[in-house]
């Protein structure tokens, strides 16, 4: 198990902004001594308000990507009034987790293996006991859901489409 999860400070801001830009999202970094606007869990967890992702430098990348993926996976109506609570159902949450794992390869510092470790370290819970087992052995429903909403293409590639 790793001792520290990868944070915003550990990655290039340009890599983060590149992903966000594809979805018309903007990153707003706030000072460490300020609360993160739109953070559902508080502390260093990323926040989501309208089309802004808020973070500290010590915000975990998995948290920033998780909130980004909520924005991508929610329907347009929820996106219009988005403030803090992304809501969503069980299937959408699985889609969010699956997509954030795919996005991990966009960061040379992270990659999917590190994302899976960070998710386990942070306390994500899956039926099979780990993020890796879920992703590799039990996530077919998440993959199907992402394809259904054209967030992934039929080969499983990222389309850079928002759910409509």
* pLDDT tens column, 52-103: 999 999 999 999 999 999 999 999 999 999 999 888 899 999 999 999 999 9
In the numeric block, the tokens 């500290």 are attached to 56
Q: Is residue 77 part of a domain?
A: yes
Q: Is residue 153 part of a domain?
A: no
Taking the C-alpha atoms of residue 31 and residue 45, their distance in angstroms, rounded to an integer, is 13
E strand spans, 6-128:
26-29, 47-49, 52-55
Q: What mean pLDDT is predicted for residues 4-16?
A: 95
Taking the C-alpha atoms of residue 54 and residue 37, their distance in angstroms, rounded to an integer, is 6
Q: Is residue 75 part of a domain?
A: yes
For residue 6, what are its two tokens?
């990868």
**Mean pLDDT, all residues of the chain:** 94
Q: Is residue 3 part of a domain?
A: no
For the chain, what is the domain count? 1
In the numeric block, the tokens 């942070």 are attached to 122
So what's the pLDDT on residue 15? 95
Taking the C-alpha atoms of residue 146 and residue 154, their distance in angstroms, rounded to an integer, is 9
Our separate counts of H helices and E strands in the chain read 7, 3
Q: Is residue 157 part of a domain?
A: no
52: left (phi over 0), alpha (psi -120 to 50) or beta: beta
12 is in which domain, residue-wise?
8-148
The pTM of this model reads 0.93
Q: Is residue 26 part of a domain?
A: yes
Taking the C-alpha atoms of residue 100 and residue 84, their distance in angstroms, rounded to an integer, is 18
């Amino acid at each position: 198990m790793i001792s520290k999860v990868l944070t915003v400070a550990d990655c290039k801001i340009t890599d983060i902004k590149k992903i966000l830009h594809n979805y018309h999202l903007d990153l707003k970094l706030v000072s460490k001594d300020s609360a993160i606007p739109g953070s559902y869990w508080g502390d260093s967890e990323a926040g989501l308000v309208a089309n802004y992702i808020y973070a500290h430098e010590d915000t975990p990348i998995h948290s920033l990507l998780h909130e980004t993926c909520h924005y991508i996976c929610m329907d347009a109506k929820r996106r219009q009034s988005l403030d803090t609570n992304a809501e969503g159902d069980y299937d959408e949450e699985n889609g969010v987790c699956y997509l954030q794992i795919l996005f991990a390869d966009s960061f040379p510092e992270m990659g999917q293996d590190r994302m899976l470790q960070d998710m386990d370290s942070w306390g994500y819970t899956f039926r099979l006991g780990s993020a890796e087992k879920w992703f590799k052995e039990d996530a077919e429903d998440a993959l199907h859901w992402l394809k259904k909403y054209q967030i992934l293409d039929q080969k499983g590639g990222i389309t850079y489409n928002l759910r409509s």
